[in-house]
Amino acid sequence: MLLNPQTGIYEQDGFKFQRIVVYDGPQRITYSPPTGWHYSGDDNQLKLWPPQTAEAEALITRWKMAEVPPFDDEGIKRLTDEVVASVPQGARQVKVISQVKDPVIIEHKSTFLCVVEYEKSGALWGRSVLFLNRSETEQLQFQLTSKRVDFEKLEKAFEASHFSWQNL
């Protein structure tokens, strides 16, 4: 799967909607980001950012690995540790806020969501990472990072957009 996005338009009930089109070989995969969000990408990462919200971004990253961790107790601990380790250098008071298995099912695939909070440069930040094992050797990570004041609203919009994936 290549996350290098192209813009596609589809029509439903007389309304036109914009969506992102990426390819996995000849297979066409589509995704509709939250309304108004901007995006760019390359083969392994799609970057999105909301309008009129400074210091917020979402990343959809494709990881190839020898074996993806299952969403069992050991795998969840490993993924949670990975999220905690991903906060910016110098962050303080890192707290795991929640860990949820299958908050959304995307294209019949199980997911795991980890949400952390931390303090950096005098501000509170939130980060959510949703993991989806696309195959035995490929994982997608859907990460949102923003200041805590904007986090809940942005996270709801980003999570809702996950239901739009087709042919994943």
In the structure encoding, which two tokens stand for residue 36, read together? 């108004």
Considering its fold, how many domains does the chain have in total? 1
Q: In this predicted structure, what is the pLDDT of residue 31?
A: 92
Give the E-state strand segments of 15-158 in sequence order: 15-24, 27-31, 38-41, 45-49, 56-64, 92-101, 111-120, 123-133, 138-147
Asked whether residue 31 is assigned to any structural domain, the reply reads no
Counting as low any pLDDT under 50, the low residues of the chain are none
Read off the CATH number of the domain in which 78 is found.
Answer: 3.40.1000.10
Asked whether residue 30 is assigned to any structural domain, the reply reads no
Q: What is the pLDDT of residues 110-149, one digit of tens each?
A: 999 999 999 999 999 999 999 999 999 999 999 999 999 9
